[in-house]
Structure 1
Amino acid sequence: MLHVINKRLSVSEQHIAGRIAYRILQHFDQSYRWFSRITRGAQERFEKGQWQATQNAVKERITIYETSLAEAVADIYQDITVHQQNDGFWQTMKQCYARLLDGHPQFELAETFYNSVIGRVFRHQKIDDAVMFLQPSRCYLPGQDRHKVVNSFDPTTTVRQMYQALFKVYRFNVPFENIERDLEHLEVALRKRLTTEQLASVTAVEMLQPVFYRSKAAYVIGRICMPTHTLPFVIALQTNASQAIFVDALLTDRKDLSVIFGFARSYFMADTLYPAEVTAFLQELLPNKKHFELYMALGHFKHGKTVFYRNFLDHLQYSNDSFEAAAGTRGLVMMVFDLPSYGVVFKIIKDEFAESKKITRQHVKDCYRLVKMSDRVGRMADTHEYVNFRLPRHRVSNDLLAELQQTCASSIELTDSELIIRHLYIERKMTPLNLYLEQETDPDKVRHTINELGLCIKQIALANIFPGDMLMKNFGVTRQGRVIFYDYDEICLMKDRNFRDLPKSEDPYAIDTLSVAPDDVFPEQFEHFIVGKRHLKELLKSLHGNLLTASYWREMQQIAQRGEVQNFTPYNPKMCFPRETPGESEINA
């Protein structure tokens, strides 16, 4: 095929195509070095307790891709007149680029970067595997580079000796608070999890080389291999006020690991030259996680979008259900639909908003970007932005198509075979909280869920985000029973609201006579719209009554103003090891 194409191009054109391909790869390599430099700095920030710097690094790392992409595209426009090149030129350029990727340790990420460049050049109008990598250029076999990302430890030693060997490899530049205590905790925890017979049957202990850093915690992640199965093996580390390290927990349950890698948490900092091998290892630990979710968890969210799209196309081939409006109350800003057999929802900004929504389309986009750049603390769903996303028209239900034409006409285009959505967001599918509470009859589960709702709002506030519209329909319930916020069109930073006490008056309409500024908020009114039914209101007030006081919200503002970074442990606090021992209570306080 390449030989036939090259006949249509002059030697000079072939040379130009090859040169541009090489320069695109240079831009990618530079971008990845920048990404890796920030990621490697996570250990020092963790050791020194530089939590504000940690948050700044998260934001900087997210911006790298767009900066590098813009530079690569600008290079192309300086080199050639884009619209004068024929299809053969772009096909040749892809072939040249594919050859350059032979043996490249991040070839899959480099392919996505190339796709982004071509997408930007053609304004996402040319979705063609002949000029882009809609499918990967090669089949990667997991395990071929396993030795480059995994440390193995001798399973024939004692449990204590194994841990001692492990901490000789995973070393830090600050001391442990009490390493002997931590080793004891780890040994006891593992012996509680495995019987003597199971310990004797262990064939290997394999740990990923990169330490996984996020917020104020670090994780050493691996597995214990036995003849019939493997066991996740995760050591969670934190630092105390004196910046001494301590082991917080040992996690050996896949459910705990799944929550750590949850879609509502910020991306990890885990430095590796071989992301394909690391994600393949993680996939073996978390078989229920999609491959694209693991790439995203490592901060490679652009490539995660590519892998998602490939997964989505495969799913369309092996399913026959139709896209339809998502279950739940219709939103005032977003039109939301899904494919019942697939685990995401698609969100399109409507052409017009209800009168009560004094916002613009750009404001909505800015809000979603603010969440992307913030610490989502396990309570705000990650969103992924797409342009010119294509759906097979025959799979779109007539009712949904009619509703899209009525509410989002400027964002969609119809061809004979496709529905093209010019701009949309994709999020993980959850059960809307209002529907969940309508269907759930178990009092304990209802109480747990209302408690989760209160915790969700509080933790978002501690992350310096005011949720704004806190109606139940804007929260979802995950399979693990966690409550997650997912509607961002009215969010803002905590400093942008004025939390006021409601004046005491015998007149029930007194609030209508107040001088109320656009940014004024009266938390005492929250109970009237966060939850509807009286018994749910009373339950929320009993569990999280301080949410309904202005003083609480002003306190949250002060915490945000001081720049305090919170640490939300992504596993059950009951799993945390005790730390108070004689002479340590002051340090641990």
Structure 2
Amino acid sequence: MKKKTASPKSIVPAASIHSAKNTLAPISHEGLVSTSPLSDNKSKNEASSNQQALDAIARQFAYQIITGFDKSYRWHSRITAGAKERFENQQWAASQRAIEERIAIYEQSLTDIVIDLYRQVHPKQQDQRFWKAAKNQYSKLLNGHPQFELAETFYNSVIGRIFKHSKIDDNMMFVLPSRCYLPGQDRHKVIHSFDTSGTVRAMHESIFDTYRFKTPFDNLDIDLDNMDRALRAQLNRDKLASVHAVEMLKPVFYRGKAAYLVGRICMPDETLPFVIAMQMTDDGKLMVDALLTERHHLSVIFSFARSYFMADTQYPAEVVAFLQELLPHKKNFELYMSMGFYKHGKTVFYRNFLAHLDATSGDNTADMFELAPGIKGLVMTVFHLPSYGVVFKVIKDEFAESKKITREYVKDRYRLVKATDRVGRMADTHEYMNFRFPRNRIDQELLQYLQDTCASSLTMTESDVILSHMYIERKMTPLNLYLQQETDPIKIRNVLDELGLCIKQIALANVFPGDMLHKNFGVTKTGRVIFYDYDEICYMSERQFRSLPKNGDPYAIDTLSVGPTDVFPEQFEHFIVGKKVFKDILKELHGDLMTTEYWLETQRITAQGVIQNFTPYPARYRFIR
């Protein structure tokens, strides 16, 4: 079967920009009073000259930013494209380092371009006419640019860095998108279409003829048989006969020790996800681990609690549009974030947030921002809008006496999680500066609590409440509330099993959760338990796991010398969950968590640099080999 292919090209602005003066003093825009036709013409000529000078420096300013973005994206793409070789060579530690490096690229690129701009222009000396002209010139450079939406965010970041995020103005930056993108116009550039007129096996063979790997398959015949059976188990004969297309995204999605081919099966009445999950065998051969056709499995693969994918594409908007057709319940910004474009994801989130506020601002529909349900945190003030799916977290001015940490330490912990393999158990968070909320939508109790706990981060105007620094995070049901409300013993047992697995998997990812009170864990709609309180996390090597004395002396514990990094796992049962019935279930399912031996062994494993592989789909879907 023949397939159309396209070779993505890096886009460099085609138009050459004439060099402008190195500096631009503020241009006066005051009107000149003319007393004669001659002076009037002179005034017009001067105004025209001023405008030309303004346009020239604005054009140069815009060109430098788009050049900086293109350089940054090439750097981003180079690291992302390297995921294939790292996967083939099983360079798992290098894969983890690549995650950190790719995250660091954006800030480094931003720093470089802002320094360069200050050499050419004095940005803070320019007035509104300059910024409007600069944005207009930049918009022209985005025509036909395959990453125009990411380039808009980069421009916003430059303006944010220059003005320390104090100006959020659509005249100066792209608060709203510059254009409406119609999904599908570049679809042929991001998908392969496969012939379905033959047998299922022939179609699968065609897929592996297209997606080639340097590493040989362990036994491709077994993989093809497994895939054939799995698809026939999902689709009966009539449905299989009705399949008119199988479309697969060209980028391979790499993460951890797995690679995913992501696509869909197209039938007249429905479309199903079609995901081929691949891993390596113990002896370094390639194998197909599972064939997934259920939407909720794809949703978990693209979970907010997992590390960002390495998926190389020059057309991110088209890839995201395709994914959203498969996962319509996921927000557009979540999919951008899952692909590693987390900065643009933040931009799209803010636009989505503004649209939601606008849609719920009527007299009969407006809900209020209020304190989030659950126990109030010792480090963070957490609030939400009931109709919206995130929580907002602000670092308090003062911490409880039990918290021997600083504000900067808390920020550092959140940065650590950003660059860590979250193994599906730690919620992704996103940092914002000078975030505005409509004051008339802030509940009075929340407003008072913010004033009491976060005054240094709070500015209030007549119309807005502005938080100088905060995080957003996906909304979940706090585990302590879940256990209070749930009556089904099966669901309770399942969620406590999830709690134990969550703690263990985080630890195997080389992160000690620190404060493991059940209020610091959330339950997703699918019943998965996720950790979301990061102020006390650290690497496993930074803790000393010790046993309590067992010499029969009743005063031994009272006189025990305890260092700041000492941890006594035998005490975990007293505070992870409250009620005895819950403790008993947790001890039955994961009693080893309460032993020093378990933590010392886990510490030994992580010290060896062993990279874990936790598949995001149920074990029963994995092929037996």
TM-score (norm 2): 0.91
Deviates more, 1:548-557 or 1:480-489: 548-557
Aligned partner of 2:306 in structure 1 is: 265
SS at match of 1:232: strand
Q: Distance in 2 between matches of 1:330 and 1:266?
A: 28
Change (3 A) 1:302 1:9: farther
1:508 shift after superposition: 4.3
Give the whole-Å Cα distance in 1 for the aligned partners of 2:157 and 2:187: 29
| 1:377-396 alignment, distance < 5 Å | 377-396=423-442
Residue aligning to 1:459:
505
Structure 2 equivalent of residue 151 of structure 1: 192
> Which residue in the other structure is 1:32 paired with?
73
Deviation at 1:13, TM superposition (A): 2.7
Specify the code of the residue in structure 1 equivalent to 2:549: P
Percent of counterpart pairs with the same letter?
65
| Contact preservation (8 Å) 1:476, 1:486 | yes
Q: Counterpart of 1:399?
A: 445
Taking the aligned partners of 1:402 and 1:8, their CA distance within structure 2 comes to 54
8 Å contact from structure 1 (residues 393, 418) kept in 2 = yes
Cα deviation, residue 81, structure 1: 1.9
Change (3 A) 1:424 1:508: farther
What amino acid does structure 1 have at the position aligned with 2:337? Answer: M
CA distance in 2, matches of 1:470, 1:460: 11
| Alignment counterpart, residue 278 of structure 1, candidates 316, 319, 338 | 319
Which whole-Å deviations, capped at 9, do the CAs of 1:401-422 have from their partners, x for residues lacking one?
0000000000010000000000
CA-CA distance at 1:17 after TM superposition = 1.1
What SS is found at the alignment partner of 1:77? helix
1:214 to partner: Cα distance: 0.2
What secondary structure is seen at the aligned counterpart in 2 of 1:511?
Answer: coil
The gaps in structure 2 that reach 5 residues or longer are 1-28, 31-46, 361-365
Task: Give yes or no for the alignment of 1:424 onto 2:424.
Answer: no
1:502 lines up with 2:548 in the alignment: yes
The answer to whether residue 416 in structure 2 is matched with residue 370 in structure 1 is yes
1:207 aligns to 2:280 (yes or no):
no
1:317 aligned to which of 340, 347, 358: 358
> Could you say which residue in structure 1 is the equivalent of 2:101?
60
Query: What's the offset of the Cα at 1:477?
Result: 0.2
| Alignment counterpart, residue 598 of structure 2, candidates 546, 552, 562 | 552
2:54·2:133 contact (CA, 8 Å) conserved in 1? no
2 CA distance for matches of 1:340 and 1:37? Answer: 41
Cα distance in 2 for residues equivalent to 1:75 and 1:538 = 62
Show structure 1 runs of 5+ residues with no match.
580-589
How many angstroms does 1:82 deviate by?
Answer: 2.2
Does residue 119 in structure 1 map to residue 160 in structure 2?
yes
Partners of 2:473 and 2:228 in 1: CA distance: 40
- Of the three residues 433, 447, 460, the one matched with 2:493 is 447
User: Which amino acid in 2 is paired with 1:37?
Assistant: R
- In the TM superposition, what is the alpha-carbon distance from 1:538 to its structure 2 partner? 1.1
Deviation sequence 1:282-338 (CA, Å, 0-9, x none): 000000000000000000000000000000000001111000000000000000000
Q: What is the correspondence of 1:331-350 to structure 2 with a 5 Å cutoff?
A: 331-350=377-396
Bigger mean CA offset, 74-83 vs 211-220: 74-83
Matches within 5 A, 1:63-142: 63-142=104-183
For 2:480, the equivalent position in structure 1 comes to 434
Give the Cα separation in 1 of the matches to 2:118 and 2:82: 34
Amino acid at match of 1:447: R
Distance in 1, matches of 2:104 and 2:132, equals 29
Within the candidate set 306, 317, 341, 2:347 is matched to: 306
Give, in whole Å, the separation in 2 of the partners of 1:90 and 1:243.
55
Q: Is this contact kept in 2: 1:207–1:223, CA < 8 A?
A: yes
Residues 179-190 of structure 1 mapped to structure 2, 5 A cutoff: 179-190=220-231
Question: Structure 2 counterpart of 1:549, which letter?
Answer: T
Q: SS of 2:414's equivalent? A: helix
Note if 1:513 corresponds to 2:554: no
Find the counterpart in structure 1 of residue 40 from structure 2: none
- Distance, in Å, in 1 between the alignment partners of 2:100 and 2:416 is 10
**Residues matched between the structures, number:** 576
Superposition TM-score, scaled by structure 1 size? 0.97
Match of 2:558, SS state, is helix
Report the counterpart of residue 91 of structure 2 in structure 1. Answer: 50
Report the 3-state secondary structure (helix = DSSP H, G, I; strand = E; otherwise coil) of the residue aligned with 1:510.
coil
**Bigger Rg, structure 1 or 2:** 2
Q: Identify the residue that residue 4 of structure 2 maps to in structure 1.
A: none
Q: 1 CA distance for matches of 2:196 and 2:462?
A: 61
Cα contact 1:9–1:89 (8 A) shared by 2: no
In structure 2, C-alpha distance between the alignment counterparts of 1:325 and 1:576, rounded to whole Å: 42
Runs of 4+ in 1 over 6 A off after TM superposition: none
